[in-house]
Amino acid sequence: MAKPLIRFTDVSFQYGRIHPGETSAALHNINLEVYEHEFVAVLGHNGSGKSTLAKHVNALLIPTSGQVMVSDLDTSDQDKVWEIRQQVGMVFQNPDNQLVATTVEEDVAFGPENLGIPSLEIQKRVTEALQAVDMLDYRLHSPHQLSGGQKQRVAIAGMISMRPKCIVLDEPTAMLDPEGRREVMSTIHRLNKEEGITVLHITHHMDEVIAADRVIVMDQGRIALQGTPREVFSNVDLLRELHLDVPQVTDLAQRLRLKGYPIQEGTLTVSEMVMQLCPSD
């Protein structure tokens, strides 16, 4: 099998010092590998450790014990932090906190400028990055004139302009309306499929998980469950115990099954449901 791009080995992390008798680490013994070109979604109840996990990928946090590797770079190696942050871009929940310049193109140029890239190359990268998120027409606009979804796409372009191998998105759609969410999700999927960028997508929205290659469910700083979306959503009862929803169709499938209808566990989409209820013969 290919080498993982990101590898967590026995990673534990605690914020501040733990007093004797307390065991409140934010991450406990996480072992996780993410491969190049993978789209991995991370689910979990509030406080389960998703953001703490995400911040370990680009060395914003360093494990209290264990090791995080990005390609061949150990995140605890101070000298490699910039190299790691070039390879792993982070996008956060609030787009307003991520846009700093007065025009969209200046904003997207900010990262490559900090990397000391020559200006002709920067212009090329900015154009390509804005094209990739379908925002080139807005290059001279002020970020403040944009919708939430457009701002998030500009924030993503800012990452892409540094040519990362991976982007980690920590609830990038949480503050967006349905249209903004759709724009951002289709942008992330396109970057993953067409540009081969590895994606680690943290979300509370079950429908944003269905198209992922793999889903990881966090609970109290541990990985409680992982697998393909179908495998994960076959565990409806366990997910509910972990205070998580399941996609609407999966919920309906379970109710129908309980009433005796022969519907498979882990039914994810409307068309799968229709095929089972009305099989054409």
| Contact set with ligand ATP (CB under 6 A) | 15-16, 26, 44, 46-52
Return the H-helix or E-strand segment holding 13.
Answer: strand 4-13
- Residue 44 Cβ vs ligand ATP, minimum distance, rounded to whole Å: 5
Q: Is 51 in the site for Mg ion (CB under 5 A)?
A: yes
Output the six-digit token pair for 153.
């796409």
Q: State in angstroms the smallest separation of the CB of 50 from Mg ion.
A: 5
Report how far residue 235's alpha carbon sits from residue 271's, in angstroms, rounded to the nearest whole number: 21
List Cα–Cα distances, 279 to 272, 273, 274, 276, in angstroms: 10, 10, 8, 6
Question: In terms of CB distance, is 105 or 208 closer to ligand ATP?
Answer: 208
d(CA 75, CA 60): 9
Q: Which residue has the tokens 């993410």?
A: 34
**203 near Mg ion (CB under 5 A):** no
Tell me which of ligand ATP, Mg ion, none is bound by residue 49, counting a contact when its beta carbon lies within the kind-specific cut-off of 5 to 8 angstroms: ligand ATP
The listed partner (Mg ion, ligand ATP, none) that binds 56, CB under 5 to 8 Å by sort, is: none
CB of 56 to ligand ATP, least distance (A): 10
From ligand ATP, Mg ion, none, interface partner of 271 (C-beta below 5 to 8 A by class): none
For ligand ATP, give the closer residue by CB, 56 or 163: 56
- Provide the residue count of the chain: 281
196 binds, among ligand ATP, Mg ion, none (CB under 5 to 8 A by kind): none
Give the Å distances, CA to CA, from 29 to 25, 67, 166, 207. Answer: 10, 10, 23, 28
Residue 236: its H or E element: helix 236-241
Helix (H, G, I), strand (E, B) or coil at 138: helix
Q: Which does 48 bind (CB under 5 to 8 A by kind): Mg ion, ligand ATP, none?
A: ligand ATP
Q: Residue 50 CB, nearest distance to ligand ATP (Å)?
A: 3
Stretch of residues binding Mg ion (CB under 5 A), selected from 47-55, 77-85, 158-166, 182-190: 47-55
92 versus 233: smaller Cβ distance to Mg ion: 92
Q: Which is nearer to Mg ion, 55 or 124 (CB)?
A: 55
User: Which 8-state DSSP code applies to residue 161?
Assistant: T
Token pair for 98: 């991520």
Least distance from Mg ion to the Cβ atom of residue 46, Å:
8
> Minimum distance from CB of 14 to ligand ATP (Å)?
8
Residue 163 touches which member of ligand ATP, Mg ion, none, C-beta under 5-8 Å by kind: none
CB of 43 to ligand ATP, least distance (A): 9
Q: Which does 151 bind (CB under 5 to 8 A by kind): Mg ion, ligand ATP, none?
A: none
Contact criterion met (CB below 8 Å) for 90 and 159: yes
Which among 173, 255, 241 has a CA at the least distance from the CA of 206? 173
DSSP letters spanning 85-102: HHHEEEE-S-GGGT--SS
Q: Nearer to ligand ATP by C-beta: 15 or 261?
A: 15
Interaction between residue 250 and Mg ion (CB under 5 A) = no
What the block records as the tokens of 17 is 């010092």
CA–CA separation, 281 vs 256, rounded Å?
22
Q: Which residues bind Mg ion (CB under 5 A)?
A: 50-51
